[in-house]
Each structure stands twice: as structure tokens, then as C-alpha cells.
Structure 1
Amino acid sequence: MDDSLSPTCGFPIEEVGAPSSWFVDDVMCQSCGVTINDVDENDLILGDEREDLNDENNEEVVENKSFVGRVFERSEDAYDCYNAYGLVKGFGIRKSSFSKSTKTQDVISRKFVCNKQGVKNSKDKRLIGREVKERRTWRVECEAKMVIKKIVDDKWIVSAFEDKHSHELTSPLRRKMHRCHNQVHKTETCKNLVDSFNDIGMRAVGIVRTVNILSDGAHGILKATQVHSRLKIKRKNNMGQDAVIVANHLQRKRAEDPEFFFSLELDTDMSLRSMFWADARARESYRSFSDITVFNVTYKTNWYSMSFAPFTRVNHHKQCTLFGCALLADAREETFTWLFEQWLLCMHGKAPGAIITDMDLAMKNAITNVFPNTRHRFCSWHIGKHLVENVAAMRDPESDFPRYYDRWFYSSDISECEVEWEMLKEKHNIREGDWLAKMWELRTHWVPTYWRGTFTAGMKSSQRSESMNAFFDGFVNQKTSLQEFIDQYEKAFVIVAIKKQKRISSQKIQWLQ
């Protein structure tokens, strides 16, 4: 008997996705769902019948293989079976619609379709008013599908099956390129290899190349995104021990200095999500310079891809002053709300007079909720960048749009600003839904006319915060652990203090001479 063929259905085991000798998980035929060792002799297909099933010139048996009436224990089993069938035939599949019971709200029907079913939505509201290069569409309204329905004993039966495709099927050499068939990253051997190569310092690109060479593409091609996803899971698993070390370090700092403040945000599984800390020097500086603050989140500084978020401002010597730092798990509104609440608690409930940030909706909503009386300004540099990207007239050297725009943007008062806006809107046909029309609704956050009389220490952008990011460049990077980050953070300030003292001493010597 040929071990490479399934003894029950006759399909080649290697073709339908069972692991080869290199990526061994379970030697199981994904088409019939049984292992070689668990097959009864009465279920075996005779040699002549198997030859008919695998004859390259006789595809009728595969094409007419009916799924209607077949029963599965779980809906996942039905999906795996149809997916294995698609691998044999040369097409990919995906999960489509499902229906629920009106009484119990349980899923009672599911539909699996060819991955080329349907058409691409060409009316995306997010793209209105923007010049976007259209990507190649892969959907050609293919009608191939399999529908399953729940029956008694919570089993599933195939109620409808359509095997007619409106496109050419994939060649054997490219079948593994379909996302549903490219499963090499899910094997334990591949996961172990990715972890091992990462431990010795190999980058994601090198891991992808090495694993693909070793596997020879027999079960798909490993992609960089899959490597990053695996490493993200590994980092989260390793984060607990690192977080405990950091928490103990911060507690020792507070025991040494009662004015030292820190706070940790935990996830539902008690893993660390975000952290904020500020020393006595930062809290004292804020008491004197709380009228304007710059906040920026753009800098990944550690192995867990947490964003570094400093609160900064310039003092009366035009020097950058740090009011506190945070490491954030993500950029959601809930995360920013937690951070601003902790910062407000750290600063004895004193909110900033004004704050400058990027043009981020989640950040804007959090500031409105936590600092209702604080004026919020968008970074002028980011506004200019988005203006050029979203308004085509700004890139047209023949257009008079920049002249009308400047007249409106630099209006002397609010009434003149509103008049100039109407002229700009009428002259250049700015309609509701356009990017600039949406920005007009947020004009109090960025148009200079609305900021007259508000003290900002001459700052209009988040460049002060970005300069703080550049300050840490020589001390931390994306491979820095949490413990190393805290150590390097403190080391950076010690080195700066030493350099400052040397500079002052040098100036005194020059003055005495």
C-alpha cells in the first residue's frame, strides 16, 4: 500500500495538506479526516480504485465527488474538508455568511465560498475626495460554494454544493499560495524554529528565508507578517516576568523618593498593558510651566512594540523640560483616557492650560473627557502634511488655491476667517465630505485665528516631543526590554547632567581666564 495515499478516499495525503516528514504534526488526511493507523480494513479502497482516483487523465471522479448529504460533527470539520477539496482542485475558500435561530440565537447555517466569490466594493466612503491608486481585484463573482445546516445532535449536514467556477483553477505549483492553504506557520516545528532563530538575534527577514529553504515550500510559504505575529505572541508571554522586575524597580524608586510617581495598567488576564512614571523633578517643573504641554506618541522603543509617549514643554531658557513618560500598549481612546487620568493624578489635579498633539481622533476624545477646560491644538506640521496629501490643488503649481487658502488661514479675526472660508469654498467647489470641509469643523484646534490670546510659548507643533525621542535614540531601540528601557532612561539623564556640569565648569574657567 502506498503510504502517500489516503486509504479511505484515495486522495494523496501530501496534496491535501497532511504534513511531510519535516513538518510532522498528525499524519491525517484532511479530506476524509482519518489517520492511517485508525482505518478498518473494510474501509480501505482497493488498489485499482485508488489508481482511478489518482489518474491525472481521469478527473471526473474528483469533479463529480458530491458533498450533499455528508454529515460532520462540527462546522469546523466541514470547513476543513471543503478546504482540503479546494487544495486538490486548485482554488481557495473563505467563510461567508451565516444565519441564526430567531429563538435561541444559535448559528444554524453557514456558507463557505470560493475566495473569488463576489465583487470588490467600489463605493468606500473613506476614499471620497481622495486620489487613491486602485489595487488589482481578485473577485470575479465565482459561484462555487458549500452550505451546511445544523441538524439533530448538533451535527452539520451539507445542504447545497456548487462546484462550478467562473475562473481558471490554480496550478499545482501555486495552490499553496492561497491563504487558506498556506498553513506552514501553524505547525509546531515552524513555531519552534521561529522562536529559536529569534533567540539568537535573527531578524524576521532572515527567519522567513531560512524556514522557507528548510521546508522547501511543501506546505506553503512563510511570510514576514506571520513571523511578526508569532513573535508578538511570544513577547506577550515573556512580558509577565519582565513587568514584575520593572514594577519592583519602580516601587524601590518610590521608597527612596516619596515624590516619585508611577502607575501600571493591567489587562484582563493581569498582564501589563501600559505604564506611566514621573520623578520629583518633573512634578516640580510642571508646577511652574503648566500653561502649555506637548504630547506625542510616535516612537517604538522596546521589544514589546510599546509606544513611548513623553509630556514635554520648554522652560524660560528655551530648554526642553520633561513632565513625565509613558509606555503605551496601543493608541485607543481608552488607553489615552487612562494615561491622562494618571497624569492628572500625578500633577495634583492641575490640568494644563493648553496641549499640542497629533491630529488623532482617539487622543482628541480622551483630552476632551479628562481635560474639559484645556485648549487642544493640532500639530501644525502634521496639518500641513495631510493638507498636501488630501488636497490635490495644493500640488498644482498652476492653481490659485494656495493664495485663497492663505488669505483664509491667516485672517486677522474670526469674522474675517468665516467670510474668507465661504469665498474659498465657493471658488474651489469644496463640498461636504471633502477633507478640508471636515477640517473646517475642527478649525478651533488648528487655525491660528482661533488661538490668538492663548499662550503657547511660541510652539505650534510637536517638535519638542520629537526632539525628546531623538534624545533617547542612542540609549534604546526596538530590541530593548522593559527592564533595560528603565535602566537606559535613567542612564540618559545622568549622562546629560554630567555633560551639563562639564559645560558649566568650562565656561567658569574661560571667564576666570
Structure 2
Amino acid sequence: MVSFAVTQEGIWTVKRSIESHNHELAKPDDQHLLRSSRHITDESASVLKSMSDAGISTVNAFTYLSEEVGGVENLGFTKRDAYNYLQKERRAKIENGDTYSLIQLFKERVAADNMFAWDVQLDEQERLMNFFWADRLARIDYDCFGDVIIFDTSYRLNKYNLACAPIVGVNNHWQNIILGIAFLSDETIESFTWLFTTFLRIMDNKHPITIFTDQDQAMARAIETTLPNTRHRFKCDSEEEFETAWNAMMKEGNLQNHQWLNDLYKIRSKWSTAFNKNCFNLGILSTQRSESTNHVCHGISKPTSSITECFLGLEKMMKTWRRNEKDEDFKCSQSEIQPYIKSSSILKQAALFYSRKLYSFFEEEFLQGVGGLCIEYSSSDLTMFYVKSIDKCPDSKIWTVLFNSSQGTIQCSCAKFEMMGILCSHCMRVLRQLDIVNIPEKYFLPRWSARARKDLYAGRKITNLSNSSCLSVEVPGNLKIRNYVCRFAYKISTEAQGNAEAEQCMLDGMTSMARNVQLILEGKKINNTNPVCGRKNIKDPAKCRPKGISNARLKDHWEKKKKKKIKNTDFTAPTSIQFTPESNGSQSSFM
């Protein structure tokens, strides 16, 4: 070792020098372990960051780099250096505070996407409580497919123990789509009310037809207040049949005093299809689609994840889903659907309209109708038909189909079209009986079309599913005009790019247009700036991660109540009771 002293004039003097080593010299194979020899090159740093952003673990990324150069001794840094580098990168994202970094990301997204919308809620200590965001594609998707949404808050896995609350929809390919994501600090009526109010404001006050949730009382109260026109859902074909099946189950199991079943019966309108046959709901029976989203979240966040990391991870998940959707759009545009029965004009008609997945549903109903059902009885004027299974079982279910040739309408007691938007097999059997070769256009809902978005934003009429009479209404203009302007501006800027005169002409025109719009809006301009945008003193949420929980799925209201012992010495509840309500062959299970 050697030490120096430096004078004020800058003269260096050797103060101490020891030429012998107090350790063995490093061998060439161990040289990469010396601190002075370790260095992460820009190329290696770029690969590490890219692989980490793609969800590849640090150890696997390090192994890949070492294999590329023929071993760790040729890499120039250790595994610990790789961990330290990536951790430093993560800390840099939130160096001014997690909440501040998140808001900065929101502002960056708004600058790049003028339809990106977000909002936050703070507590009395200026700490972040709840936040919500939706980007341009999410808002467009809601305009196209926001008739039915699924909402669930059963996933918490971040260092603040915030509940991840994705709002999920279903597109025309029967795929999950994200319509917005919220993080909530608690599950109170106030938090849910804030979220649904914010969601509606961002979505131009367009209410969904149906919302599926778990059985959470606070959530239900908030929905009643903020979404009064939306059917809240949590299989019998009629209310009478449901009551008969329920009473038979209660009597057979001696369950009249079972508190959980009695509470479940009180909210039967929220979960039994018998009370929701006039409501469009895509045929969904639970929040399973949202729960599958929560499963994806498990691979994105960890108990130590910041909310900034959660946001970035969820953005990647949304990009992956949208890539899958584009792939399906491409398949629909490049290949024609081949009907199973090539001579069937109805299947040909459906193949030209539906997306690939929805056509498979339609074809299944068609084949079941013409091959698995028969007409039990028909009225003399051919306006009423009783349809049953072809197997001739004495207790088989009978469905009633009403047909009106003058109005071109057909309606079944199973109400599949009213709930899901495709004709059922019972209607198919009647159409075959009447030798009808084409289905009226009103029974092909545009939300299931292979070109659903193009049809919507081309200004075509869409079917108002909130009304069982299927009236046609014009597409709402707010989101459509913004989408058109964005696409038009992008087209003009792309064409002008590279030509200085054209670029200047475009900029002058936009400046003039902005000035004219400002004059029109003078005196009634709405301030859309989020009040927290310029604030730098917003505190991070309080850290309160439960100890010892690796997959902290929250228990819903009924799961919590099941843990309480029933104080009744004369009755012991069975662990599982099954009953079949004779509805479309389905079976319900009550635990």
C-alpha cells in the first residue's frame, strides 16, 4: 500500500509505502472477484435491465450473460453486482418517494396519450389512500365492451398492503380486457364510492348494464349509490322453479335454521339467473374472470413491491393481453370461418359476422338445436312452440319459444339471447322447423362482431342491450370524436414528416385551430388539471403488510361469516349440500 500527503500548493509527498502483500495474489481465474477489477459494462447493464423488465429473474439473467462469455470468470462482475445494479435502478425510480414517482409516471403517460386518465385520493395526513387509472385503449374498450364488467379486490401483495382492484371486461373474442385498475387502502363504502364515482367520470358517465362482484356488503352499498341503473350480480329458468327447488332443498336437508343459507336467500336476486333473465350479462355466473386476473397479478408483484413497480408490471400485462387480442383480430381478417355444415345458409351468415370464438358458440347452439332437440307441441298458428330434448326423458325440461313472423321476432323462455346476445339452440330448432334460412340482422349483436371496434367507430348503429326490445341507438359521440381527431392528427403528421414546408403548414394550422377553439370556449373552459399534479409533498401509503402471508387473498364477507360457529346444539350443518334445480342441465353447489 502507499499513502500520500498533498500541500495547499498541490505538491504530493509519499508518507508511507509498503511493498509486500499481506495476502496471496489473485489467480487469473479469480481476478473477477477483486473489487478493483469488477465492472458492469453498458452492454451487460442493458441486457440485465431488459431481461429484468421482461420478468426474468436476476439469477437467470446473470447465468445467461455468463454463458454468453464462456463462464463467470470472463464476465467481469459477480452475481451480487448484478443484484446491486438492478436494485439501484429500482431505487432510482422512486428516489423522490413512491407516490411522487407514480404521479410523475401518470403525468408522462398523459403527455404521450391525451386520453390517459387518472386520479388519487389522500387521507387527512396527506398520505396516498386510493388511486385509479385508465389509458386510451381501456377507455375505448369500455365504450365498445363496457356493457358487462367484473370487479374484484381479493388480491393484496405489495409493501403497503393495498388491494389491487382491476375492472375487467370481455371483448368480442371472449378474451379478458382491462377497463381500468385501482389500488385501494381499505374496503369501505367510502373507498368503493370514490372509485366508482371516479370510474364513471373518466368513462364519460356511461353506466354498465351489469356488474359482477363478490359478496361484499360495503361494495354492494356503494354500487347502489353510484350505479343505480346497473344490475348487481353475484341456474333455474324461472322464479317459480327457483322457489320450488330451494324449498325442496331446505326441507330435504332440514336447513330451515341455517343462517348462511338464509342470508344467501335474501340476496337471491343478485346471484340467481331466474331473477336476471331480462338483463344482459354475457352468460357470466361469477367473478372468475377477475380472479384469473388476480392470478396474473401474483407473478407481477411481491410483498416488497412498490406501487410504482406494480403499475409498470400491470402495464406490461395489459400490453401482453392486447397483443393476444391483435393476434386474434389478425386471424379473423386473414382467414374465413368454415362452417361445419357448408350448405347451411344460417351458418354461412354467422361465419361472415361473428369472431372466431363467438362463431364456435353459435355453431354449437345450432348443431344442438337441429340434432339434439325436438318439437313437443306447436300452436295451430305457429306462434308458440314447446321444445325438449330428443332423448325423450319423461322429466326432461321443456322450453317455450314464441315466434312472430310479421315482426320478425323469436324469443325463448331460457332468455339466452337477452342475457348473452346469441340465439339459443331452442330458437334454432324452431327456425329449422319453419324452414327459415336467414336470421334477422337484429339478432347479430355488433359487440360480438369480428369487426366490433371498426363498426362502432365508423358511426354505425349499435343495439341498446339495456332494453330487451333491442332498439337501435346512435353511438355516443364524446369518445368517438376524440378517437377520430387523434387518428386524423396522426395521419397528417405522418404524411408531413420529412417535408419542412408541410411540417410548418401543419404547425401553423394547429396553432390557428387552437386559438379559435380557445375563443369558442372562452368563459366556460373546464379545468381538467388534476389538483395533485403539482404537489410534491404527498406522502407514501403507510406500510402495513401482514406478516407470514405469501399470497394474501382477502376473505370476502361470506367466507368471514363461515368461520363463526353456529350456536345451535340441536343442529349440525352438513359440510356440503348439493341440489340440482333442473336448469339447462347445470348443477349448483351450496357449501
User: Is TM-score (shorter-chain normalized) higher than 0.5?
Assistant: no
Quick one: higher RCO (CA 8 Å, sep 6+), 1 or 2?
Answer: 2
Give TM-score, length-normalised by structure 1.
Answer: 0.43
